[in-house]
């Protein structure tokens, strides 16, 4: 290990130090001290440092630890995404945790370590490393989901998440072992070479099996149908900041590893996994949207919406057109969509958290008259809901434009048509929330909803970024296109 | 660089909307004065635009071009020709009148109302000046949101405004997402998002199934907005539920967005497919005209009646466009082109006239509803003697609507039928039935039921005639009905410079 290696690991090191620091400060701070109150801001500061490190390493293309971990723009993009997303989640948690748990310090520590796991998973180029990082992320996430252990719903959320997660990761591991058995390697490139050289005829089924088995593990993180069953209950029961984390940074990680693994290790089977993903995409969009229509709890509604949104994003991978000098190569659409979706979806959850922190309710009907009770909250939620719908001038539109364009570019018209029909259906339930906020008068005596200051900052960032990506997407397009360029060279 | 007048017209309302946000909501007077004041600036600029536009050489003028998203060749490209200038004026004009009228009638949630209205104006103006597909699409959808909120928040509770609002939104969205796919398809084929480039490049010219798919994608998006039968069912609900000024803008301008799209995009970009499907389009237009008029006959709610009359009247626009499309490769070139140009002039003129006339009718419905709190035609009768001023204004507007010679509506219908008789005679003959039915429902349902017959003094004895602000709102509209009724030349020259170039390029 040289100094150069350490330099390339700076984001991870920063997060590691941060996690330990938060833990130590929490221990040293004593109950209710000022030190403890400062923990979220310490975490935020550490995340900014990690963000700076990740940005400083932009453009590097190196491999560490004998091919275990890559430091490349693709990983860099997802590191930035995760750190920014977790930063917003930390801001959302400050007031939310207050009075609900005495162990806020551990919460920030776990979030930091989950972020560390993400930064490792998105760079993993060896299946073993990938598995370890994904497990690291899963285990911290299980604990976070069940963080309110006196709350039965939170415990249920954690248990459900854990049971599904344990099985999914076991199935994924089985897929990895099959690949190892067939090719004799865990390194993604070596697997691809072995597969390229041709398998024994009696072993060709391994490729198909590996696609499905690996997709189980990745699809679980992404919450794709049919691996989505955990999502509604976990989203509803988990502490809402954790839900925001699961729906943004954690979901994006699933996409990162899915993209890298399939493109790097299984290019020989692209025709097959593209077909599987196209099917999964259609089913996810349709099922997610149709079930979301009936939801009365906003967290459950956003859970189903996030399943549907995952379906849209998968279009980019199902309509991949790397190599050609194409502007919509599919993968840049995935990244762009995820980046816009990060601010949009975390923004929506920020609104939900602010509302829940003051009223204790997550029922959509209780949002009645919100425009009078908190005009700022209603207006920002409107922006996020329109962005989720895909209305122009928001980031959500740009993301949809890129994945739909990828579908049309490869002339997969059926997928594009299913997707746009779905986006019309989705408008109905997103606007249902708008209807309550703006049209339905508040109940007699419904109190004003004050937005806590940290959430107000986070809301400002999320709104500004959602609109910025929508109105001036140029730098983000360039950035995401650069992040996937190296994949085209594979 | 010259003064970017189109950007100024488009974005000053947005600026005004942001300024409105800064005013405390209790200060309603300032909000109202500021909004009206701001809206006068684009109005003045668009009047200047009308006079500064040179019909010779015609074509796109006041163009502005700047890169916006170079990564995918999206440009900020705006410009106006003889077709868009009158519509830009119509938009700024009706918006100012609507804001002025609303300043007197909107009493709750004032700040939101004026904010949304100015936002809506930017969206509408943007559509009329955009020459880039993505820019066009952005404005197209951006205008949707404020209108959705206007209907839902300020609608009368008994008219089910929430239902009408979401229906309006979903219908428009359903159409426009297909348009988005077609836009992407055009870009991937031609490498440009520019509307004028697409008209030159004729995407999918060698692949008829794709051209047909793209044609229908655009057509349905615009037909929903027009609205043409069978896509019209959102309109009566939305119009009835919307507040007066919202109905005025909805009928006056939002419907024109669809018709404008037909002439600006569908006709020049897909002439071959349009020609192929012109009989279907003409049939839909004729059904809209006749069916819309017949449905009016059956209405007892005055506002709903006016709403359905829009379906009928916008059918004339569609008929004119269909006639122009049918003219492609149709023998005797000079004569056919002449008829096609006349039909298209009629369609474009009908857009403007319908905006003035039906906008006026919705104001007038608002006037009576504010007083009587009902729109039930059977409840009225004999109001002519009690409200002579209102009767007079209403009579002029109604007669303009049914196409009485000497008033604006006559010319556009005349041009449409003059063009259509030469090109698609069968449809024109059926369509003219609509004119007869229109006269019937206007005279019988509106004039007779409201103003003639026995007067119920007990019930309506306390009604007062039009107030000063209502007169001020209506007079400019009546002026244009009469002015263009006697002398349509100025606006026809303007439109003709665009339509003749368009027909020549087909």
pLDDT tens readout for residues A121-167: 999 999 999 999 999 999 999 999 999 988 888 999 999 999 999 99
Query: Residue A489: is its pLDDT beyond 70?
Result: no
Per-residue pLDDT, B257: 93
The interface pTM score, or ipTM, of the predicted complex is 0.92
User: In this predicted model, what pLDDT tens digit does every residue of A173-194 receive, in sequence order?
Assistant: 999 999 998 888 999 999 998 8
Q: Which residue of A has its CA nearest to B180?
A: A401
CA distance B54 to chain A (A): 33
Preferred mutation among B18, B72, B110, B203 to probe A, highest tally of A CBs within 10 A:
B72
Q: Is residue A7 very low, low, confident or very high in pLDDT (cuts 50, 70, 90)?
A: confident
Residue B277 C-beta-side C-alpha neighbours within 13 Å = 20
Does A474 contact B71 at a Cβ distance shorter than 8 Å? yes
Query: Residue A301: is its pLDDT beyond 60?
Result: yes
| Cα(B328)–Cα(A108) distance, integer angstroms | 69
Q: Which residue of A has its CA nearest to B165?
A: A435
The answer to whether residue A481 neighbours chain B at the CB level (below 8 Å) is yes
Does B184 contact A477 at a Cβ distance shorter than 8 Å? no
Q: What residues does A126 pair with on adjacent strands? A: A187
Produce one character per residue of A445-471: b if its CB has 16 or more CB atoms within 10 Å, e if not.
eeeebebbebbbbbbebbbebbbbbbe
Task: Give kind and range of the element (H or E) at residue B76.
Answer: strand B74-80
Our CA dihedral for A313, A319, A323, A326, rounded to 10 degrees, sits at -80
3-state secondary structure at position A394: coil
Does B152 contact A401 at a Cβ distance shorter than 8 Å? no
Answer whether B117's CB lies under 8 Å from B97's CB. no
How far is CA A53 from each of CA A22, A57, A356, A444, rounded to the nearest angstrom? Answer: 19, 6, 35, 52
**pTM exceeds 0.90:** yes
Produce one character per residue of B187-223: b if its CB has 16 or more CB atoms within 10 Å, e if not.
bbbbebbbbbbbbebbbbeeeeebbbbbbbbbbbbbb
Q: Which residue of B has its CA nearest to A369?
A: B153
Judging contacts by C-beta atoms under 8 Å, the chain B residues touching residue A473 are 69, 71
Does A438 contact B178 at a Cβ distance shorter than 8 Å? no
Mean pLDDT computed over A352-378: 89
Does B141 contact A423 at a Cβ distance shorter than 8 Å? no
Answer whether A357's CB lies under 8 Å from A99's CB. no
The answer to whether residue A427 neighbours chain B at the CB level (below 8 Å) is yes
- Which tokens sit at A268? 């020989």
CA distance B211 to chain A (A): 14
Of B152, B170, B173, the CB nearest to A435: B152
How far is CA B209 from each of CA A254, B138, B203, rounded to the nearest angstrom? Answer: 39, 27, 12
Of B149, B166, B181, the CB nearest to A404: B181
Size of interface A-B (CB pairs under 8 A): 84
Of B149, B173, B188, the CB nearest to A427: B173
- Which tokens sit at A139? 């285990």
Contacts with A137 (C-beta within 8 Å, 6 or more apart), sequence order:
A114, A117, A118, A121, A221, A250, A253
- A2: how many CB neighbours lie within 10 A of its CB? 7
| Cα(B488)–Cα(B113) distance, integer angstroms | 35
| Cα(A232)–Cα(B342) distance, integer angstroms | 60
Q: Which residue of A has its CA nearest to B191?
A: A327
Per-residue pLDDT, A165: 93
| Cα(A341)–Cα(A249) distance, integer angstroms | 10
Judging contacts by C-beta atoms under 8 Å, the chain B residues touching residue A417 are 181
Mean pLDDT computed over A348-377: 90
CA distance A98 to chain B (A): 33
Judging contacts by C-beta atoms under 8 Å, the chain A residues touching residue B186 are none
DSSP string of A428-456, one letter each residue: HHHHHHHIIIIISPPPTTPPP-PPPHHHH
Interface of B with A (CB under 8 A): 68-72, 112, 134, 137-138, 141-142, 144-145, 148-149, 152-153, 161-162, 165-166, 169-170, 173-174, 177-178, 180-181, 184-185, 187-188, 213
The conformational region for residue A56 under phi > 0 = left, psi -120 to 50 = alpha, else beta, is alpha
Query: Residue A19: is its pLDDT beyond 70?
Result: yes
Phi, psi of B364, rounded to the nearest 5 degrees: -70, -35
Of A397, A435, A474, the CB nearest to B70: A474
Per-residue pLDDT, B461: 81
Per-residue pLDDT, A490: 53
CA distance A438 to chain B (A): 7
| Cα(A123)–Cα(A133) distance, integer angstroms | 10
Residue of B487, B345, B353 whose CA lies nearest to B419: B345
Packing angle of the helix pair A413-434, B161-190 (nearest 10 deg) = 150
Per-residue pLDDT, A64: 86
Does B142 contact A409 at a Cβ distance shorter than 8 Å? no
Judging contacts by C-beta atoms under 8 Å, the chain A residues touching residue B162 are 435, 439-440
Q: What is the mean pLDDT of chain A?
A: 90
| Cα(B126)–Cα(B139) distance, integer angstroms | 5
3-state secondary structure at position A411: coil
Judging contacts by C-beta atoms under 8 Å, the chain B residues touching residue A434 are 149
- A385: how many CB neighbours lie within 10 A of its CB? 26
The answer to whether residue A395 neighbours chain B at the CB level (below 8 Å) is no
- Which tokens sit at A438? 């703006």
| Cα(A459)–Cα(A357) distance, integer angstroms | 15
The answer to whether residue A431 neighbours chain B at the CB level (below 8 Å) is yes
Whether the CA torsion B329, B330, B332, B336 is positive or negative: it is negative
Per-residue pLDDT, A104: 84
Does B170 contact A428 at a Cβ distance shorter than 8 Å? yes
Q: Which residue of A has its CA nearest to B144?
A: A391
Does B177 contact A386 at a Cβ distance shorter than 8 Å? no
For residue A226, whether the previous peptide bond is cis, meaning omega lies within 30 degrees of 0, is yes
Query: Residue A61: is its pLDDT beyond 90?
Result: no
Quickly tell me which residue has 């399943």 as its tokens.
A307
Per-residue pLDDT, A197: 84
Does B185 contact A408 at a Cβ distance shorter than 8 Å? yes
Judging contacts by C-beta atoms under 8 Å, the chain A residues touching residue B72 are 327-328, 477
CA distance A433 to chain B (A): 12
User: In this predicted model, what pLDDT tens digit does every residue of A228-284 receive, in sequence order?
Assistant: 999 999 999 999 999 999 999 999 999 999 999 999 988 888 888 999 999 999 999
Of A392, A401, A416, the CB nearest to B142: A392
Domain that includes residue B483, residue range:
5-505
Give the residue extent of every domain in chain A: 286-490
Judging contacts by C-beta atoms under 8 Å, the chain A residues touching residue B161 are 439
CA distance B7 to chain A (A): 16
- Which tokens sit at B223? 């037909």
| Cα(A144)–Cα(B177) distance, integer angstroms | 39
User: In this predicted model, what pLDDT tens digit does every residue of A71-99 receive, in sequence order?
Assistant: 999 999 999 999 999 999 999 998 888 87
Can you list the residues of chain B whose pLDDT is less than 70?
1
Look at chain B and report how many structural domains it folds into: 1
User: In this predicted model, what pLDDT tens digit does every residue of B56-115 receive, in sequence order?
Assistant: 888 888 989 999 998 888 999 999 999 999 999 999 999 999 999 999 888 888 889 999
DSSP string of A259-284, one letter each residue: HHHHHHH-GGGHHHHHHHHHHHHHHH
- A169: how many CB neighbours lie within 10 A of its CB? 19
Preferred mutation among B162, B169, B177 to probe A, highest tally of A CBs within 10 A:
B177
DSSP string of A124-171, one letter each residue: B-BHHHHHHHHHHHHHHHHHHHT--TTSHHHHHHHHHHHHHHHHHHHH
The answer to whether residue A439 neighbours chain B at the CB level (below 8 Å) is yes
For residue B56, whether the previous peptide bond is cis, meaning omega lies within 30 degrees of 0, is no
CA distance B184 to chain A (A): 6
Contacts with A444 (C-beta within 8 Å, 6 or more apart), sequence order:
none
Q: Is residue A325 very low, low, confident or very high in pLDDT (cuts 50, 70, 90)?
A: low
Does B184 contact A371 at a Cβ distance shorter than 8 Å? no
Q: Which residue of A has its CA nearest to B164?
A: A435
By CB neighbour count within 10 A (0-12 exposed, 13-18 middle, 19+ buried), where does B54 fall?
A: exposed
Judging contacts by C-beta atoms under 8 Å, the chain B residues touching residue A420 are 177-178, 180-181
């Amino acid at each position: 290990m040289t100094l150069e290696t350490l330099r390339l690991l700076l984001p991870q090191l920063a997060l590691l130090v941060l996690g330990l620091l938060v833990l130590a400060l929490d221990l040293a701070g004593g109950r209710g001290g000022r030190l403890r109150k400062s923990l979220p801001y310490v975490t935020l500061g550490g995340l900014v440092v990690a963000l700076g490190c990740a940005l400083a390493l932009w453009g590097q293309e190196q491999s560490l630890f004998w091919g275990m971990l890559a430091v490349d723009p693709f990983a860099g993009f997802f590191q930035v995404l995760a750190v920014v997303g977790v930063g917003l989640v930390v801001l959302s948690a400050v007031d939310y945790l207050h009075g609900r748990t005495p162990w806020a310090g551990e919460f920030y520590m776990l979030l930091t370590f989950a972020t560390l796991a993400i930064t490792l998973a998105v760079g993993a180029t060896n299946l073993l490393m990938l598995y370890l990082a994904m497990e690291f992320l899963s285990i911290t996430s299980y604990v976070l989901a069940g963080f309110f252990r006196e709350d039965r719903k939170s415990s249920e959320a954690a248990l459900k998440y854990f049971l599904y997660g344990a099985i999914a990761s076991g199935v994924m591991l089985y897929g990895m072992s099959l690949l190892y058995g067939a090719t004799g390697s865990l390194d993604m490139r070596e697997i691809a070479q072995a597969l390229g050289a041709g398998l024994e005829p009696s072993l060709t089924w391994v490729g198909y099996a590996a696609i499905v088995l690996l997709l189980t593990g990745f699809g679980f993180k992404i919450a794709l149908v049919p691996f989505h069953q955990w999502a509604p209950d976990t989203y509803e029961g988990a502490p809402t900041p954790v839900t925001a984390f699961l729906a943004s940074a954690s979901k994006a990680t699933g996409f990162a590893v899915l993209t890298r693994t399939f493109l790097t290790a299984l290019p020989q089977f692209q025709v097959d996994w593209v077909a599987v993903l196209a099917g999964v995409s259609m089913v996810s969009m349709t099922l997610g949207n149709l079930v979301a229509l009936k939801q009365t709890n906003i967290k459950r509604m956003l859970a189903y919406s996030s399943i549907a949104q995952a379906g849209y994003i998968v279009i980019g991978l199902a309509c991949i057109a790397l190599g050609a000098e194409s502007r919509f190569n599919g993968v840049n659409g995935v990244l762009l969509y995820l980046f816009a979706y990060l601010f949009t979806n975390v923004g929506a959850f920020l609104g939900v958290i602010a509302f829940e922190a003051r009223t204790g309710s997550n029922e959509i009907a209780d949002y009645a008259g919100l425009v009078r009770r908190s005009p700022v909250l209603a207006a920002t939620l409107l922006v996020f809901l329109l962005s989720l719908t895909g209305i122009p001038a928001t980031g959500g539109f740009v993301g949809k434009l890129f994945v739909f364009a990828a579908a049309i570019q490869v002339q997969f018209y059926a997928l594009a048509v299913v997707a746009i029909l779905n986006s019309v259906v989705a408008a109905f339930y997103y606007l249902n929330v708008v209807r309550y906020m703006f049209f339905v008068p508040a109940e007699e005596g419904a109190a004003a909803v004050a937005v806590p200051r940290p959430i107000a900052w986070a809301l400002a960032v999320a709104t500004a970024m959602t609109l910025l990506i929508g109105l001036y997407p140029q730098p983000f397009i360039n950035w995401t296109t650069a992040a996937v360029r190296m994949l085209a060279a594979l | 660089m010259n003064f970017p007048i189109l950007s100024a017209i488009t974005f000053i309302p947005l600026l005004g909307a942001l300024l409105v946000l800064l005013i405390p909501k209790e200060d309603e007077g300032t909000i109202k004065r500021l909004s009206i004041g701001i809206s006068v600036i684009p109005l003045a600029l668009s009047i200047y635009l009308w006079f500064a536009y040179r019909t010779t050489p015609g074509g796109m003028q006041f163009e502005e071009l700047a890169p916006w998203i170079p990564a995918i060749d999206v440009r900020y490209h705006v410009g106006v020709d003889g077709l868009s200038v009158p519509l830009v004026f119509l938009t700024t004009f009706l918006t100012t009148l609507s804001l002025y009228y609303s300043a007197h009638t909107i009493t709750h949630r004032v700040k939101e109302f004026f904010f949304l209205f100015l936002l809506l104006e930017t969206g509408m103006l943007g559509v009329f000046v955009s020459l880039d597909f993505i820019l066009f699409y952005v404005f197209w959808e951006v205008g949707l949101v404020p209108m959705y909120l206007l209907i839902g928040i300020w609608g009368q509770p008994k008219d089910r405004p929430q239902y009408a609002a979401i229906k309006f939104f979903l219908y428009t969205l359903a159409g426009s997402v297909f348009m988005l796919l077609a836009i992407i398809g055009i870009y991937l084929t031609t490498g440009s998002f520019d509307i004028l480039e697409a008209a030159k490049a004729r995407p999918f010219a060698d692949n008829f199934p794709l051209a047909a798919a793209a044609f229908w994608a655009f057509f349905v998006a615009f037909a929903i907005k027009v609205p043409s039968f069978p896509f019209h069912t959102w309109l009566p609900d939305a119009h009835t539920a919307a507040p007066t000024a919202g109905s005025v803008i909805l009928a006056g301008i939002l419907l024109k967005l669809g018709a404008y799209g037909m002439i600006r995009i569908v006709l020049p970009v897909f002439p071959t497919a349009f020609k192929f499907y012109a009989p279907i389009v003409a049939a839909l237009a004729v059904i809209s005209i006749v069916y819309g008029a017949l449905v009016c006959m059956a209405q007892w709610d005055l506002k709903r009646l006016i709403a359905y009359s829009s379906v009928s009247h916008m059918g004339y626009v569609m008929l004119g466009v269909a006639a122009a499309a049918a003219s492609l490769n149709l023998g005797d070139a000079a004569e056919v082109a002449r008829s096609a140009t006349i039909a298209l002039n009629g369609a474009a003129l009908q857009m403007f006239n319908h905006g003035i006339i039906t906008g006026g009718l919705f104001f007038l419905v608002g006037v009576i509803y504010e007083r009587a709190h009902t729109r039930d035609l059977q409840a009225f009768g004999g109001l002519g003697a009690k409200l002579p001023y209102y009767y007079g204004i209403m009579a002029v507007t109604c007669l303009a609507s049914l196409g009485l010679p000497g008033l604006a509506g006559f010319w556009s219908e005349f041009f449409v039928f003059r063009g259509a008789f030469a090109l698609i005679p069968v449809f024109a003959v059926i369509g003219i039935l609509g004119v007869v039915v229109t006269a019937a429902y206007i005279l019988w349902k509106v004039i007779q039921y409201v103003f003639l017959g026995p007067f119920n003094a007990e019930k309506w004895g306390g009604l007062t005639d039009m107030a000063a602000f209502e007169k001020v709102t209506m007079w400019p509209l009546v002026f244009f009905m009469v002015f263009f009724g006697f002398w349509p030349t100025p606006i026809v020259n303007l439109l003709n410079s665009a339509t003749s170039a368009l027909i020549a390029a087909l």
